[in-house]
Structure formats: C-alpha cells, structure tokens
Structure 1
C-alpha cells in the first residue's frame, strides 16, 4: 500500500508540474482571462479558459476543452490576435460582434472549424452580462476559424473550403441581434478546365442565386485542342481536353463565360463524340434537343459548326484566321471519341 501511495503521489506531482496557467490581462479593466493547459509542451492540450471579474475575482465564464492551442509572445498569452484565415488566432478575443456599441467575447473551445482549425464560443455583452449566442457561435464553428469583423460597414465575413478547389465566402449583417447572410459566393475549380462561380445575394426578401461557368484560355493553353471564333456573333467555339483523356465542347461568350458545354458530366459513359475524317473532318455529338457537328476542311481552309434543332440546320462558320488546333486526332486518342 505504501508503495502504491508513493507511485500515485509521484504521478500527481508529475501532472501538477506539467500543468501551466497563463493570464491574459490585455482584455478589459473589468475582467481578465486565465488559461490552464495540462500539456503546455504540446501543440494541442486539454485545459480550460476562465474569464474572471477583476473586482470580485469570481469566474464569469469557464470553458473546458480537450483541444486548446495557445501561442505565446515572449512567454505571455495575448488577446485579440486574429490573422485570418490560417494564421494565429488568440484563444480570447474582445470585440463588438453585433455592432451595438458593446464589446463581446469570443473564447476558444477547441479545434472544431475547418481542417482542425480553432473554433470559438461567442458571448454577447448585454447590461453588464455576457450571454452565449448560438447564432454567432455557429459563425465561429462552421467555417475556417474566427469570423472577420468589418466595423465600418457593420458586416461579418466568413470563409470555408474543401480541398484545393472549392471555397465559400459569406457576408453577414446583423438584424434583430442575429447574423443574416446577404452574400454567399462559392468558387469551384474542381471540374477542370472550367471555373464555376455561384453567388447568392439577398434582394430584400430572399436569396437570389446566379451561377457562372467560365474558361480562361490564357490560364489553360494546354487544354485547348481546337478552337475558332464564330464569324456571325464573335462567340468562341472551343474543344477542350479535360486533363483526363476526354474531350469537352464549350461555346464561350466574349468575356469567357461558358454559354453551353457538352457533356454535362465528362465521366458519363453514354456521352460520346463521333469522328469522321471523310470527305472533311467532322466531330458530331448531341443531346435531346439538338445535334452539333464541328467541321474542319483543310482543302478549303474553313472551319465551323452546324447545329440541327427543331428540324432546322444552322451553319456557324469560323472567322478567317481564328482557327487554333485541329480535328486531326491521329496522334492522340480520347476515350469518349468513336470513329476516325
């Protein structure tokens, strides 16, 4: 028994020695914060954060966490450092989040935001007290780290992402002490070579969504297999390699916006192009409403596209000297092209 008691005492002493407490004093004259970490030498540690009344030395708020991350500056813990989205973020921030003239509190409760980033609980100041706001807390949990505060325009900004190729940027105003989204922009580059931007904006009654698909030939020169400008309307016909041995057709407006593309899903096994090399090179494809046929006539130095829809055929000829590439695929095989 004596040996066991000595071991338990040694373990308790070891834990006590490892535990560290830090004080944040640059918050307010009315209160300060104490951070206790059980494993201060680790990047992430179990611990707690306590907001303490300066006059009474009583705890106002205490948050326990299994996953705190504390950065020190010359051995000191500081409040209100917010390097968004991926830089240092203090475990306690003191700022007016709802634009009522009173500073509120953001207190780290772990690493629950995107990619194991810091997350916070938001306490709003009201009549000398702090009250947990679930609505504001969501903004500091469901995105990438703490939200940004635009005090001049009275807006809150969030960002979240998935992998390298999808990002979402949101702007909130505050109405009836609740954050309300007025703009949500999603940038999606996960379906190369296209870039898809979707924006939802508040029009006073509801969120109105618009989606734009674009292609930038300057940023993707290797993707262009064949292209030309349509003489009659200056639109750009582009045949693209999606980087995975599949062809994609796109019709672009003058600003690079994709007006139409085929196939909707390049991995659809039923979506095929048919190549015919005689008497001129043609590449034909279609959907339920129309049949399209790109053509290239080297003998007559002409290119274009015919469109058959509702029993009518339209011939969009290419403008002179605008052709790039060729429909000659003798040196390259595409998995969604048949014939030859």
Structure 2
C-alpha cells in the first residue's frame, strides 16, 4: 500500500501536465499572421523536420492565449540545415518548405481563419489540413467541415483569391490534371464555379473547361 501511494504522489504532478510533458519539441512562429503568434509542440523531430501528434496554441500579439488545437500528425519540413534542440526554437516562414499552419480569411467574412496540418492525407500523399473559421458571435475558431475537405482531399492547402473571393485547388489522377475554383456563398457554403480538366493520356492533350455563369454551366473543349 505504501509503495502504491508513493508512486501516485510521484506521478500525479506529472499527470497534471498532460501529454505535452514528454518527448515533445517546442517552436514559436511570429511571422505567419499579422494578428496571431503561434506556439507549436510536436512529438518527433529529425534532420529534415518534425511530425507526429502535436498541439498549436495561438496568442495575440500582446501574448494573451486565445485558443489551442490538436493535430494527429503535425508535419512540417525545413529547407536546409535544421538541427533540432531542446527548448523553444523560433522558426520563420522562410525556413520552411512545408507549412504546419496557414492563416487567411478563407470564407471572406473579414476575419482571419486558420488551417492546422493533420498529416499527409491529400491527393498523392500531399499535405492535408483541418480548417477553423473565426466565429464572431462565439469569439473563437470553430471547425469547418467543408473547408477541411477542400484542404484535405486535394493537392495541399487551397489557394485564396481575395480579389475575386474564390478558393482554388488542384488534383491529379495519373496523367489527368484537375483545377477547381469555388465561391463562398453566405449560409450556403462553398459552390463549385470553375473546373478545368487536362488529359495528357495521349500525345494530343485534351482540355475541358467548365464555367458556371448565371447558374448555368458553359463548357469549352480544346486540344493542344
């Protein structure tokens, strides 16, 4: 009984620290967003980058904690000369060739949203992301199933066209390449408005472009 009590007293303070206590590498990013700084904790780092279960914590620029996010596989890779070490390491966008998170106004409502990498579940093993949009009523980030699908089922993170208020993404199936553009419609979600298919199966490339105009699809087929 005494031994059990001693072990409990020894482990209980550590248990309060949770899973971040052991085997994690700690980074901070200050240049990814004009509004937020981020701290990243991930369980495994090697010469070219980091991977594994991770946590992202957002702070405002005054250092006040805003929200945290969990990832099953928070992967990111460095361009060169990465040497993991103990303690907090500051990393910048210029150091990375694969991003752990993205910021941007993904639904064009005037507030900044965030995407957190969840592994490499995209098309042909490309990066995939969980997307959270800022809810001005709740004053916090909430998951977006539609945007997460867009950032997880294609070739990496989607592009954001702020001028035309469109999201673009890309995929491929063997020699066939697909480009998609979506509009964000309030209270309706994302709507496909453009699709381009390039078929390189044969010597002559077949190109099909579909555009949605006034709720009708206009199709044009060409060859190269």
Shorter-chain TM range is 0.7 to 0.9
3-state secondary structure, aligned to 2:148: helix
Q: Rate the CA distance shift 1:70–1:57 in 2: closer, same or farther, 3 A.
A: farther
- Provide the residue aligned with 1:20 in structure 2: 25
Q: 1:97 aligns with which of 90, 106, 127?
A: 106
Give the aligned CA root-mean-square deviation in angstroms: 3.1
Q: 1:52 aligns with which of 50, 58, 61?
A: 58
Q: Which has the higher contact order (CA 8 A, sep 6+)?
A: 2
Q: Is residue 46–residue 65 contact of structure 1 (8 Å, CA) maintained in 2?
A: yes
- What CA distance in whole angstroms lies between the structure 1 residues aligned with 2:142 and 2:75? 22
Q: Rate the CA distance shift 1:196–1:170 in 2: closer, same or farther, 3 A.
A: same
Q: Is residue 71–residue 90 contact of structure 1 (8 Å, CA) maintained in 2?
A: no
Task: Please tell me whether Structure 1 or Structure 2 has the larger radius of gyration of its CA atoms.
Answer: 1
**TM-score, length-normalised on structure 2?**
0.72
- Provide the residue aligned with 1:188 in structure 2: 199
Offset from partner CA, 1:122-155 (integer Å, 9 cap, x none) = 1111213111111111111111111111111211
3-state secondary structure, aligned to 1:140: helix
Q: Is residue 71–residue 116 contact of structure 2 (8 Å, CA) maintained in 1?
A: no
Q: Is residue 78–residue 90 contact of structure 1 (8 Å, CA) maintained in 2?
A: no
Q: CA deviation at 1:111?
A: 0.9
The answer to whether structure 1 residue 111 and structure 2 residue 116 are counterparts is no
Gaps of 5+ in 1: 1-15, 82-86, 217-340
Q: Is residue 108–residue 118 contact of structure 1 (8 Å, CA) maintained in 2?
A: yes
Q: Is residue 24–residue 78 contact of structure 1 (8 Å, CA) maintained in 2?
A: yes
Q: CA deviation at 1:161?
A: 1.3
Gaps of 5+ in 2: 1-20, 83-88
3-state secondary structure, aligned to 2:114: strand
Across the two proteins, how many residue pairs are aligned to each other? 193
